[in-house]
Structure 1
Amino acid sequence: MKLKLMLMLTFFTLAASSTFAQVAPKAKTEQTKVHRIVYDMSAADTAQHAGLMRQLNNIKRGWPEAQIEVVVHGKAMDLLVTGKSYKPDAIKELQVKGVVFAACENTMRARKVTKEQLLPNVITVPMGIGEIITKQEEGWGYIKY
């Protein structure tokens, strides 16, 4: 009887200690997830352009290693055209931080904008929507601005 009581007591003690045991926190890995974000900018609204610049700076401040591409097409094309851009200095500063600005060649043709008219370091893509879809297929986050 004593042996049975001792075995039951031992069993309950072990069961209780495992139930109340603390789980050790997971160790932080040194690898950080690189965020990849593609922005879809098609609005001519300069207030939206200013908001985009603020948002991009906020992201780069919080996630300095984030990969960001802004695909500009449609009515937003003036954002990237020398002499027409509302924010050329802000774009230049963001490019230094690694933000890529991409102009849609379809829109450029429709609006008769040449590569030489684009702000420095702006890349071109054959189709803005195609670029956005490709980025999404590669796992990039999508933001319509």
Structure 2
Amino acid sequence: MNIPVLIAAILSGLAFIAHTFVGDREIKMIKPEDTQNDGHNKVEKWTMSRCGWHWISFDLLATSTLLFLIVFTSVIIHEQFLLTILGIYYLGYGTVWLITITVSQSFPNNYVRLWQWGLLYTIGGLIFWGISI
């Protein structure tokens, strides 16, 4: 059993659960209430943001499922190649997260408060560690 990949699968599965349920509750907090005075446009943009939010939720579910399949079954062929792609995928997500924080308006402890980049790098690192053993 590949323990680093198992830990990556668990972390991405937990991230899926948190992103889907806790995150959706948080994104509902910023839903525009004003349906008059350009409210439609704001609600449309908010709905698009919420759809994008859950697009990422699905990414977390899909990658977690693939990682669990690799750890516990033999149904995935070319596991090393798929793990490499998934590792790059998570490191890419982490990098985009850091770039977005950097180019966005700063606030106190923004890199600490928006710590998800660290989780994404951790998952990617665990996957690459799992490839090497």
Q: Same fold (TM over 0.5)?
A: no
Larger proportion of strand: 1
Shorter-chain TM range is 0.3 to 0.5
TM-score w.r.t. length of structure 1 = 0.30
